[in-house]
Structure 1
Amino acid sequence: MQTLLLSLWGREVVPDRPQEKIILQKMAKGRNDSTCPKSFSCGNLTDLSFPFSLSTQPDCGIVPISGCDAKPFPRIQLLPGGEWYYARGKEYSHTIFLVDPKLQTILRKNKCQAFNENISISDSPSISYTAVNLQNFYKCNRTSSNNPYINQTMKGHFDGYDSYDGCDGLTIYYKFDGVDDEDILAGNHTANCSLIRLPYYQTEPGDDNLVNFLHPEFLVEWKLSDDCNECHYGGGRCQTDKKNNFLCYKGTEPCVRQACLHSKLNTYSPSIINRLFRLIGDRFYNLKLINVGVANVAGTSKRGYLQTIWFKVATDILLTVSLPLRFWESNNQDHQRVEEFLKNYGSYTPNRYNYTDIKRITGRFRNKLGQGGFGNVYRGSLCNGSQVAVKVLNELKGSAEDFINEVASISRTSHVNIVTLVGFCFEGHKRALVYEFMPNGSLEKFIYEERSDSVRQLSWPILYKIALGIARGLEYLHRGCNTRILHFDIKPHNILLDDNFCPKISDFGLAKLCMKQESIVSMLGPRGTIGYIAPEIVCRNLGGVSHKSDVYSYGMMVLEMVGGRKNVDVGVDCTSEIYFPHWLYRRIELDEELQLIGIMNEEENECARKMVISSLWCIQTDPANRPSMSKVVEMLEGKLDSLQMPPKPYLYSPSRSEVDSSILELTTTTYPG
């Protein structure tokens, strides 16, 4: 690469200083200050790197850590002058568990005193933070006279919220399902109420004592700003001035944005870029174009005209030089993320294969099982004879973070209804996932009945077993892991079946991790598959995105299993589309026969009705009205006559015409009665 850059103008230039020879090797390593270690450990924290630094080396990072030998954990300060927290441990490369020592002491002595605290984490121009499991609580002082009118007004103001009166003189309002009312969240609440944020974990199902759920530990996700990322990997130090403006220090002086950009280019090799400029000048000089005088051509100075040409050519060359290097740097950072993931997971990491191994396992990709937008799936065999399915991803499909996300999510699981990840390959842009082989393929092959009006491919007992297994798998993802996993792409295509038709949830490429059981998660844009996407993912005013979004997708999928058809009938014209869930609801409501294919006896009829009623609960528009997956399992395993009829779902997925144009819209429909 270096020889190529220096030969662009037909003449090779040898660096006149030895240190220039290693510049290119340091492009993605950030500052080459020998006093700053590439990584370090502190107490229970290992493999720490920028933005973290030891408090004794403040120039090496922006998040200081101290007390490496202190008990119980080292301390960390997220922002200059801010609170110091205990750093209990790292989860992924960009997340860390923190413990508030003050809150920890309070909860040991008097839990109600915790409502006098408030955890607030601010951002800086260099770094931003997201606390995953902080819950909003509205602390309201009850009037000393216990005026019933004032207290009733306060209750009316927080209509739809749960309340807790177990602390003297206080009423605490909160909402674990759904999202806060926008006016209340904006501060439009009564004068004697205030908003506080505290960590929350529901440890004992059925326990309604709110203070038992308060916890001093919370998970923080951090992200460097673009400015700081550019600065650090360009060899500078991210700083903030007294007015909270971002500064990038090169040596002892800060540089402005334009100067930092030039320095970024110089990071690739200052002498090479400067020599390119000189070479350009030499070429113009040799052509006797620069010293042509100052005579005007069409009213424009030739020198000014040539300066414009010189700038244009120089810019083109710099872009030619910098863009491939930026691409190389990005690829190198991807590999750094993968290596960091491997270190963090240690013995829990699945097997890592190189691309040659993948070709050997698949017999050079001979037996293709299927394909999709992600890439192709091939059948393969390991050395011990075990059969596997190898998903080879398209080279340009998804980022390294998406790939790591899938590996990280599924590596955390161990459940009969979750597919097992045997290993993975990450070699440049060649990426593959190696799963246990499922002889019966995906569920979608068995549920859409187009060949017969009387016979199903799968009997009702097997369909019921599959629905219950998927529910148990989702319950495990939402509650059974130390970190909650939200799948966000539950659909028949992602349910695999073994030789006994035991279902296994697969494809965790869109999954998100969170610590809080009832968490509301942030999402940059819609994710999922049309027809299974929960309404709140598209229309955020309907509620927060949470584990209840998976519940919705599950309900839509089970209704398709029940009906043996898509929920919107694409066999009719656009003006008379039949929305199958509404048709089913009407028949259940009137206690009519479901007229479903293959029901042979009362036992099968009961299975079908339990699947329908539980699914109609799952697809409620308001996430707060949907059951948890634990409740869904309970409904499926319980008696039919114990199930209550849910409200009629009034919001449905996009129409066929909208699906064709890939427009994510939701339509409301009003039905008489």
Structure 2
Amino acid sequence: MDPQKLINFRSFPYVMIIFLITLAMAPGTMSADSHFEACMPRSCGNGPDISYPFWIFKEQESFCGYPNFEITCKEKDPILKISEETYIIRDIFYNNNSLLVVNSVVHEDHCPTPWKNVSLDRTPFSLSPDNVNLSILYYCEGQPTYHTYPVSCASNTSFHSFAVFHKEALENTNYSIESCQTLIESPVYVNDGVSFVSLLRMNYTDVLKLGFVLNWIAHSCSNCKRSGGRCGFGNTDEFVCFCSDGPHPKTCNDGNCIGHTPFFLFISGGGSNLNRKLLIGIVSAASGLLISGIILVCFRRNISCITTAKFLRKFTNKDQDLEAFLRNNGTLTPKRYSYSEVKKMTGSFKEELGRGGYGSVYKGKLPDNHLVAVKVLNTSKGNGQEFINEVASISRTSHVNIVTLLGFCLEGGKRALIYEFMSNGSLEKFIYGMTSGDDGRVLTVEELYRIAIGIARGLEYLHLGCNTRILHFDIKPHNILLDHEFHPKISDFGLAKLCHGTDSVVSMIEARGTIGYIAPEVFCRNIGSVSHKSDVYSYGMMILEMAGGRKNLDVGVHETSEIYFPHWIHQNLEQGNIEPELLGLLNEEETEIARKMIIVGLWCIQTNPKDRPIISKVKEMLESKEALQIPPKP
């Protein structure tokens, strides 16, 4: 036999294996989708690559990005228009949804004079907290002795215009800012590569040319990219993952094309039962041949198969991936239990304590007779994100007002969390209409007041006491558990977000929380940035309910104008009508405690996050013996 033919014959199985791998990993490459091709990253010539959520006008279709993220190319510079102002994009940081921009006026003018502050109202953009403010003061009487950046084109012999980074420092030199006609705050981003000395040597225009950083809100593209797709915006105003075989709702691996027939269904002739059975048989046989071939190649050729192993592990080891995340991103101290151990400790899930969208909670007992609450997560929802959030967040905590995580189960898609058992359940059953617990116990206003302070201490610890700041995003009575002495503990960290270092402002793709407790900026970004103040809002709504003994959406009054409890109670507070009878209390002493909780709650739910106190101040106000000022109507 011809040696060349022998080589070709022996190579045939490997060729078939490569073909099957290619077919399995890219079934749609037979016919590339036009959306996929159109949304390839582009560039204007200068600056960064332009891709989702941005798109280039006249070069790409609008479905490649979000509305208001349209970019035009002007002399090879990418230009973004926001609120009638045009900005040149210097860099885009897709990893944290931010971009560095310079006002086009600054770029083109040797002595730029911005006459108004940066306006981002009703836009998907917000100023990054990493910026610092450069105060530009126009037409001032007298020239300060403190270091400033002169604005020569807006100065004359009678008036001086200048810029300064810390306008507060001028007041320490007895300079009167009121002598200036106009004050503009211009954001500037000073990166680590610009030293303080070099900053002092710059002129006014060079400082403004440093630009500033904007954050944006859009659906995350990371999962789509990892699956080999390109992100876009569909006809139904929803996120779409464009893949080589057509648009998918989330990732190229979800197997659910929008308006396209997947390749395997196409060759099987549609979706009849016979064809589906035939398809299952073909795929099963091909999968067996593929895996056998890969193993054969690995052993015979003595190759590492690292890439192949990763490919297979993607579909078989999701629980190992979750474990790796937990090991790398948190201090995984809780004990791991098998699913059979979870079944045994709960008596095959005999006694259910509660149920929610996440799954169910069951009463259990460890081998040492220690009572526990076992939270079994619903595996049909999400991709393990809630499990990751809960364990990665709570494993970093240790506080008397934070529930303790004792263990977890992660086995073949089954996920459970084992917590210390809280004998009095959730706060929810004790506060509405001053109802009682299972044993008939009714909490007094003073006990509710102590519980409110305990919750504030727990939140203060999450926001300030941990090495990593934790934002809870679901503070509500249902998630406050009470031990046998009615000490409160914050639970349910499934929606939590971690903030590294001193960060407090976070970017969010979608609103998270519970209706009635969600801060307005979480679902309406024009109000302000999502931050630790969002937890303060939820806390405020909760203690208003605790003080009034009723839900904020049902106050039991007859006038429709009085249905919203915070407005109703604020009106009565202003008019001095907070009497024991109004809140169904017994005496003036209880009413005074409730009055303090109401005032603090109203401060916490101010619409603008900047008007709300931080949680440490909230705790201080609750513990204070001095009279508190009534806040504006929220």
1:408 equivalent among 392, 398, 401: 392
Aligned residue runs from structure 1 range 245-284, under 5 A: none
Match of 2:402 in 1: 418
Instruction: Give the aligned partner of residue 365 of structure 1.
Output: 349
User: 1:235 aligns to what?
Assistant: none
> Which residue matches 1:665?
none
In the TM superposition, what whole-angstrom CA distance separates every residue of 1:72-111 from its partner, at most 9, and x where no partner exists? xxxxxxx99xxxxxxxxxxxxxxxxxxxxxxxxxxxxxxx
Residue 196 (structure 1) aligns with? 189
Q: What is the 5 A alignment of 1:16-35?
A: 17=13
Q: 1:613 aligns with which of 579, 582, 599?
A: 599
Q: What is the distance in 2 between the residues matched to 1:621 and 1:192?
A: 23
Which moved further from structure 2: 131-140 or 391-400? 131-140
| Equivalent-residue separation in structure 2 for 1:442 and 1:154 (angstroms) | 63
1:556 paired to 2:558: no
| 1:67-106 equivalent positions in 2, closer than 5 A | none
Secondary structure of the 1:392 match is: strand
Name the CA shift for 1:401/1:346 in 2 (closer, same or farther; >3 Å). closer
Aligned residue number for residue 634 of structure 1? 620
Per the normalisation by structure 1, the TM-score is 0.55
- Does structure 1 residue 464 correspond to structure 2 residue 460? no
Structure 2 residue aligned with 1:513: 498
Q: Is the 8 A contact 2:482 2:489 kept in 1?
A: yes
SS at match of 1:122: strand
Distance in 1 separating the partners of 2:603 and 2:316: 47
Structure 2 residue 215 is matched with structure 1 residue 230? no
Amino acid at match of 2:604: C
State the distance in 2 between where 1:515 and 1:163 align. 29
SS of 1:634's partner is helix
Which of 364-373 and 598-607 deviates more?
A: 598-607
Q: Cα deviations across residues 188-235 of structure 1 (Å, max 9, x unaligned)?
A: x99995621558xxxxxxxxxxxxxxxxxxxxxxx8756752359xxx
Q: Distance in 2 between matches of 1:341 and 1:608?
A: 45
Q: How large is the Cα RMSD of the aligned pairs? A: 5.3
Q: Secondary structure at the match of 2:131?
A: strand
Give the residue type in structure 2 aligned to 1:136: N
Which secondary structure state, in structure 1, belongs to the residue aligned with residue 349 of structure 2?
coil
Matched-pair contact (CA < 8 Å) for 1:28–1:332 = no
The Cα of 1:337 is off from its aligned counterpart by 3.0
Gap change, CA 1:167 and 1:136, over 3 Å in 2: farther
Shift of 1:366: 1.1
With over 3 angstroms needed to count, the CA separation of the structure-2 counterparts of 1:20 and 1:445, relative to structure 1, is farther
In structure 2, C-alpha distance between the alignment counterparts of 1:224 and 1:583, rounded to whole Å: 44
* Unmatched 5+ stretches in structure 2: 1-9, 27-47, 50-88, 100-126, 144-150, 193-219, 230-242, 254-263, 288-309
Q: Which amino acid aligns with 1:639?
A: K
8 Å Cα contact 1:134/1:197 also seen in 2: no
Q: Aligned partners of 1:351, 1:450: CA distance in 2, in Å?
A: 39
Counterpart check, 1:377 vs 2:361: yes
Gap change, CA 1:575 and 1:606, over 3 Å in 2? closer
Structure 2 match to 1:396: 380
* Residues 409, 415 of structure 2: 8 Å contact kept: yes
8 Å contact kept, 1:15–1:21: no
Offset, 1:446: 0.5
Aligned equivalent of 1:122 = 92
Matched, 1:547 2:526: no
Letter in 1 for 2:466: C
Report the alpha carbon displacement of residue 448 of structure 1 after superposing the two structures with TM.
1.1
In structure 2, distance between residues paired with 1:411 and 1:195: 37
In structure 1, how many angstroms separate the alpha carbons of the residues matched to 2:280 and 2:171?
66
- How is 1:575-614 mapped onto 2 (pairs within 5 angstroms)? 575=560, 578-595=563-580, 596-597=582-583, 599-614=585-600
1:456-479 alpha-carbon deviations (Å, 9 max, x no partner): 910122111100000111111111
Q: Secondary structure at the match of 1:135?
A: coil
SS at match of 2:606: coil
Aligned to 1:501, the other structure's residue is in SS state: coil
Q: Is contact 1:569-1:577 (8 Å) kept?
A: no
Paired letter, 2:92: S
Note if 1:443 corresponds to 2:427. yes
For 2:548 and 2:561, how far apart are their aligned partners in 1? 18
User: Structure 1 residues 431, 197: CA separation in 2 closer, same or farther (over 3 Å shift)?
Assistant: farther
Please give the residue correspondences for 1:488-499 in structure 2 after superposition, counting only pairs within 5 Å.
488-499=473-484
Q: Could you tell me which of 122, 134, 138 is aligned with 1:139?
A: 134
Query: 8 Å contact 1:136–1:198 — kept in the other structure?
Result: no
Deviation at 1:571, TM superposition (A): 4.9
Letter in 1 for 2:227: E
The answer to whether the aligner puts 1:524 opposite 2:502 as a matched pair is no
CA contact (8 A) 2:605 2:612 kept: yes
Aligned-partner SS, 2:545? helix
Q: Calculate percent identity across the aligned residue pairs.
A: 51
Query: What per-residue deviation string (whole Å, max 9, x for no partner) do you get for residues 380-405 of structure 1?
Result: 11112211000111121232122111
C-alpha spacing 1:349/1:139, structure 2 compared with 1 (3 Å)? same
- Say if 1:538 and 1:155 are closer, same or farther in 2 by CA, change over 3 A: farther
Distance in structure 2 (CA, Å) of the matches to 1:194 and 1:571: 48
Question: Quick one: distance in 2 between partners of 1:136 and 1:461?
Answer: 44
Within-5 A mapping of 1:134-213: 135-140=130-135, 163-165=167-169, 193=186, 195-196=188-189
Partner of 1:625: 611
Deviation of 1:166 (Å): 7.0
Question: Which ranges of structure 1 fall in alignment gaps of 5 or more residues?
Answer: 1-13, 31-78, 81-118, 174-188, 200-222, 233-255, 266-275, 281-305, 650-673
In the other structure, the counterpart of 2:333 is 349
* Whole-angstrom CA distance in 2 between matches of 1:319 and 1:351: 42
TM (norm. structure 2) is 0.58
Deviations 1:146-180 (A, max 9, x none): 768979x999999xx995447999x9x9xxxxxxx
State the alpha-carbon separation in 2 of the partners of residues 141 and 157 from structure 1.
4
Report the Cα distance in structure 1 between the residues aligned to 2:423 and 2:160, rounded to whole angstroms: 60
Match of 2:629 in 1: 644
